[in-house]
Structure 1
Amino acid sequence: MERIDGKPNLNGVWQVMNTANWNLEPHSAGPNPVADRLVGAIGAIPAGLGVVDGGEIPYLPEARERLERHRANLIRHDPEAACYLPGIPRATYMPYPFQIIQGNNDDILMAYEYASANRVIHMQEVGIPPIDTWMGTSYGQWEGDTLVVTTLALGPGLVKLPAGEMVEGVTWLDRAGNYLTNHATVVERFTLMGPNHIDYVATVDDPTIYSRPWTIRMPIYRRMEPNAQLLEFKCVPFSEHLLYGDLIEGQ
C-alpha cells in the first residue's frame, strides 16, 4: 500500500455502511419518529445489530434520566435536526461521506459533507484545549500503522433546541438520544486494513455520566467512484422553520 513518510496513506473520501447514526446500540426497525402514518415507510428507522462492545452504553442512573428525556423529544432535542455540528465520534458515522487530507509530517484535516463540518488533527502531544466547541479539539499520533486521535472539549455550551428551549448543550451520538458531555475524552483509532477499508474503533470515557469507558467499532469504506467528492449539504435552510417557525408564524 502507498505510504506517506512511512505512514499509511489515508487520503480519500470515506463513508460507513451501517445504522449507527440511528442508534449505536442494537435496535429493531421502527416507524418514522415524527411523521404520521400517511408517509408510509418513508423515513422509517432501519434495524441494526449495534456497534457498541457488549451491546449497551453504561449510563449512570442520573444520566439515564436525561437519556429518557432525549428519547421523549427525539426531533425537538436532537442537534442534527437543528443543523448543529455533529461532534466526535458522530461525524464519522453519519450517512454522509467525509474526506481525509493527509500530507507530509503535517496536521491532518478531516472534512465532512454534513453542514461543511471539519476538524484539524493536530499531530502533537495531547494538550489542554482553550475552549469547548462543537467538534472539540483533536490531537493525533501514530502508533505503528494506526492513527490514534484524542478529542477533548466537546461541548457547545448553551444552545437553542428545536423546541425553542435554551439548555446546556451536550453532544448527541445518534438519533436515539445517546450522548456525551464536555467532560468526555474520545480516543479514535484509524487502522488501514487494505487500500479501501479502514478499521475504526472509538472509546468514550466520561465519568460524569458513564460507569466505565465504552467502545464502538466499525469498518469505513473508500468511495470508489472515479469522481468521488464531497458535495454540499448546507442544512441551515432546512432547519430554519423548525428553530424559528414560532417567530415566522407570529408575524
Structure 2
Amino acid sequence: MRSASFLAASLALLIAGGAAAQEDPTQLPAPSNDFRPSLTSWGEPDLRGGWPIDHLNGRTPFQRPAEYGNRQLLTEEEYNERAQAVAQLEQRYENEESEGTMGMGHWAEVAAANRRTSWITAPADGQLPAYTPEGQRLSDAMRSTWAAGQHFDWVDDFDSWDRCITRGLPASMFPFMYNNGIRIFQAPGLVALQLEMVHEVRMIPTDGSAHLPRQIGQWMGDSRGTWEDHNTLRVDTVNFRPGPSATNIGTTGSPRENDTPVSEEAHLVERFHMVGEDEIIYEFTWTDPVVFEQPWSARLEWQRDDDYGMYEYACHEGNVQIRNYITASRAERAAEDASE
C-alpha cells in the first residue's frame, strides 16, 4: 500500500500515453521496443530487481464482465466508478482499527484503481475459452477447499495450493489478495523468478539447452528462455505435471472454484518486455488442447519496487491444517448421521 499511488499513477500514464497514440482508445497499445535496457556484464538485457504485482491487486477482474464487450480499457466514467469502489475497500482497514476489530481490511490488500477491463486479452471477449469434453471431465473430478459443500477424507481431496505445494502456472503470475512479491535474478545463461506465494523459484536457463525429456513432469513445468530484440525475454514452458494444479484461482473475477485442470499437453509462452527502466509489460499465451477448446492470453503491467520486502510464507504453520480439515469433515458428517 505504501507505493500504490505512485505505481497506479505510473500505470495510468503508461496506458494513457499508449492510448493517445492509437486509433482505438479502448484497446491496449502493443509493447514498445523503443527502450533499450542496460546490459549485464555478460551482455544480456538487465531485468534484475523487485517486480511485485501488488499494485495490480484489487478490482480488475481476471475475466472481463460482459458489459465491457471487447473493450480492454475503461472509459473515464467507468474508471471513476472503480476508483470510488477501491476507496471504499481501502477504508475497511481504518474502520476496523477504529472499532477494535480485525477482518478483511487487515487481511486483504487493495491497490489503486487502473483502467483495465480484464487481465485476459484473448479471446477478444476477455473470457476463458470453453472446456473440451475431457477438460470438463477433469474439472468435475477436481477437489479443493475452494469448492463449497465438499467432504475431505484424504490428501487427494485437496488441490496443490491447499497442500502448500504450488499455486501452479499461470496462476502464480496473477495478483492475489496478498503475497504478490516477484524478484528477478540473473546469472550467465540463467534467469530466476522468485515468487513470494509458496516461496517458489522458477529457474529459466537461457543458455540454449534443450528441454528435459517429456516424461519428466514438474508442477511449474520446464522452462527455457531466449532473448528477442533488445528488450524482451521469451520463455517457453512445457512438461507440466498433470493433477490438481490451479491456473487462475483466487484472482478477482476468476472461476470461484479451483476447477481448472492442467494436462501434459499444456504449453506456456511468456514475454517479458522491458519498456522502461521501471516498467515491464508481461504477456503470455496458455495452450492446453486437452482442457481448452482454444488458447488464451493475458497481459499485466509490472512496476519496479526494489523496496518491497518478502517475508516468510507460512502456508499453514505446523503442517496440521490438512489433518484438521479431514478430522473436522468426518466429525461433521458423523454428527449429521447421528441426528437423522
**Shorter-normalised TM-score: what interval?**
0.7 to 0.9
Aligned pair partner of 2:64 in 20, 23, 26: 26
Superposed displacement of residue 133, structure 1 = 1.7
Aligned pair partner of 2:127 in 38, 56, 78: 56
Preserved CA contact (<8 Å) 1:13 1:98: yes
SS in 1 for 2:224: strand
2:193 is the alignment partner of 1:110: yes
Equivalent-residue separation in structure 1 for 2:58 and 2:162 (angstroms): 16
* CA spacing shift, 1:21–1:138, aligned 2, 3 Å: farther
2:227 is the alignment partner of 1:142: yes
Specify which structure has the higher proportion of strand.
1
Superposed displacement of residue 173, structure 1 = 2.1
Superposed displacement of residue 210, structure 1 = 1.3
Question: Which residues of structure 1 form unaligned runs of 5+?
Answer: 30-38, 158-167
Equivalent-residue separation in structure 2 for 1:92 and 1:219 (angstroms): 11
Preserved CA contact (<8 Å) 1:88 1:151: no
Instruction: Tell me which moved more, 141-150 or 67-76.
Output: 67-76
Superposed displacement of residue 45, structure 1 = 11
Match of 1:235 in 2: 315
Instruction: Tell me which moved more, 13-22 or 200-209.
Output: 13-22
Q: Aligned runs of 1:69-88 on 2, under 5 Å?
A: 74-75=146-147, 79-88=160-169
Match of 2:185 in 1: 101
Equivalent-residue separation in structure 2 for 1:189 and 1:25 (angstroms): 20
Superposed displacement of residue 238, structure 1 = 7.8
Equivalent-residue separation in structure 2 for 1:203 and 1:20 (angstroms): 23
Preserved CA contact (<8 Å) 1:20 1:174: no
Question: Which residues of structure 2 form unaligned runs of 5+?
Answer: 1-36, 67-84, 86-101, 151-157, 332-340
Aligned pair partner of 2:281 in 177, 196, 199: 199
Letter in 2 for 1:174: I
Letter in 2 for 1:60: Y
Letter in 1 for 2:310: L
SS in 2 for 1:115: helix
2:266 is the alignment partner of 1:187: no
Equivalent-residue separation in structure 1 for 2:58 and 2:137 (angstroms): 22
Instruction: Tell me which moved more, 48-57 or 209-218.
Output: 48-57
* CA spacing shift, 1:215–1:21, aligned 2, 3 Å: farther
Equivalent-residue separation in structure 2 for 1:61 and 1:214 (angstroms): 14
CA deviations over 1:129-157 (Å, ceiling 9, x no partner): 452221111111111121011111222x5
Preserved CA contact (<8 Å) 1:15 1:93: no
Match of 2:5 in 1: none
CA deviations over 1:218-250 (Å, ceiling 9, x no partner): 11121143xx34221131328732x11156568
Superposed displacement of residue 59, structure 1 = 2.2
Provide the TM-score with structure 2 as the length reference: 0.57
Letter in 2 for 1:169: P
Aligned pair partner of 2:171 in 52, 65, 90: 90
Match of 1:151 in 2: 237
User: Percent same amino acid at aligned positions?
Assistant: 22
Instruction: Tell me which moved more, 171-180 or 45-54.
Output: 45-54
Match of 2:8 in 1: none
SS in 1 for 2:173: helix
